[in-house]
């Protein structure tokens, strides 16, 4: 009997939805559910199949060297860092992702961040907490320019939303091409020339050695002091020390950050102290319909795995050797 380990540090009611729905669809599965390292026991060692997020693997500091029976990892996100970059991941293990489902939730998160920054909603909440009647002029998104770094499913969903707000939309990517919703698309090599035009820089690029700390002091120096950074990609894309320095020096107007180099963000991290920084807890794709979005892919790939038809799986990011 195949054994599935659901390894998730999510609210229990959310994790339970995965267990119940996969259990009903595949009653032949043995399913273990674990939410912390100290409760893992032999579940990882015994698992044939693993359902998790790469970031949760990193947060729990789990080593796939323990996974002696593992044959398939289904990531619940698009990013695979924390899984495919593990040296102990055997070449015989297939890795699949949830690529394609994050357009609506993450694009909405990016747009919400831009609106919250431009209207200083955190300031309004602080004033409400203090029962103070304070007013200030909002900055409009209308006729502003947004640069979207990384063009994939999420960017393709975000660009038309930005256009609907009356924005000028510039795409920045390694492979320039025509994409609906963008006024123009530039090569990543043109980033230094594009930055001075932008009122918002939204990061959607995957994390890799090539994108590690690509948003650094030089980038912040080239941005307008009235511009904002929105990161709904991966924490490692941003040099956080350089970001802190830029915020302190007023080189940018503020930032909305959903992802960080270390998660959870340590309580003593200086980013917590900035009133022009919005911090959310890797929530970009986490939404009320996420399980519904995920289940068609999970059920299809599980059915293929149990039938021994790995080639029919979808979103295969790393096929078994």
User: Does 108 qualify as catalytic in the annotation?
Assistant: no
Radius of gyration of the chain (CA): 21
Q: Position of tokens 């900035």?
A: 274
**Number of helices and strands (H, E) in the chain?**
10, 13
Active-site residue, selected from the candidate residues 102, 156, 234, 240: 234
Q: At what angle do helices 121-129 and 103-118 cross, to 10 degrees?
A: 70
DSSP 243-300: HHHHHHHTSSSEEEES--SSSSPPTT-GGGG-TTEEE--S-TT--TTHHHHHHHHHHH
As to burial, measured by CB atoms within 10 angstroms (0-12 exposed, 13-18 middle, 19+ buried), residue 38 is: exposed
Kindly report the backbone phi and psi dihedral angles of residue 91, in degrees, each rounded to the nearest multiple of 5, phi listed first: -65, -15
- Please tell me which residue in 19, 263, 303, 318 is annotated as part of the active site: 263
Token duo for residue 193: 């020339």
d(CA 308, CA 311): 9
DSSP letter (8 states) at residue 238: B
Q: What is the DSSP letter of 206?
A: P
Active site annotation includes 263: yes
Structure tokens at 258: 């959903």
Please state, as a whole number, how many other Cβ atoms lie within 10 Å of the Cβ of residue 243: 25
**To 10 degrees, the CA torsion angle through 194, 200, 203, 209?**
50
Q: How far apart are CA 145 and CA 154, in angstroms?
A: 18
List phi, psi (to 5°) of 197. Answer: -85, -20
- Catalytic residue numbers read 234, 263, 282
């Amino acid at each position: 009997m195949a054994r599935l380990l659901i390894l998730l540090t999510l609210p229990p009611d959310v994790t339970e939805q995965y267990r119940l729905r996969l259990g009903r669809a595949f009653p032949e599965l043995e399913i273990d559910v674990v939410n912390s390292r100290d409760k893992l026991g032999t579940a990882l060692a015994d698992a044939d199949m693993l359902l998790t997020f790469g970031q949760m693997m990193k947060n729990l500091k789990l080593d796939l060297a323990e996974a002696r029976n593992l044959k398939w990892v289904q990531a619940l996100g698009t990013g695979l860092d924390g899984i495919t970059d593990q040296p102990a991941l055997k070449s015989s293990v297939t890795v699949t992702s949830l690529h394609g489902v994050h357009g609506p939730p993450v694009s909405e998160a990016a747009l919400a961040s831009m609106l919250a920054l431009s209207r200083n909603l955190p300031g309004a909440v602080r004033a409400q907490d203090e029962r103070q009647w304070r007013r200030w002029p909002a900055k409009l998104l209308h006729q502003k320019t947004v640069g979207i770094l990384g063009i994939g499913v999420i960017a393709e969903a975000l660009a038309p939303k930005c256009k609907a707000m009356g924005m000028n939309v510039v795409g920045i990517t390694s492979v320039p091409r025509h994409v609906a919703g963008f006024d123009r698309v530039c090569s990543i090599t043109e980033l230094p020339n594009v930055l001075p035009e932008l009122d918002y820089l939204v990061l959607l690029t995957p994390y890799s050695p090539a994108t590690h700390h690509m948003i650094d002091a030089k980038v912040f120096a080239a941005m307008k002091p009235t511009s904002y950074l929105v990161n709904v990609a991966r924490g490692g894309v941003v040099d956080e020390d350089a970001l802190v320095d830029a915020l302190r020096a007023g080189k940018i107007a503020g930032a909305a950050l959903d992802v960080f180099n270390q998660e959870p963000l340590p309580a003593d991290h200086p980013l917590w102290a900035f009133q022009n920084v919005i911090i959310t807890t890797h929530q970009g794709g986490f939404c009320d319909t996420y399980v519904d979005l995920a289940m068609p892919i999970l059920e299809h790939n599980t059915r293929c795995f149990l039938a021994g038809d790995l080639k029919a799986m979808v979103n295969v990011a790393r096929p078994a050797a």
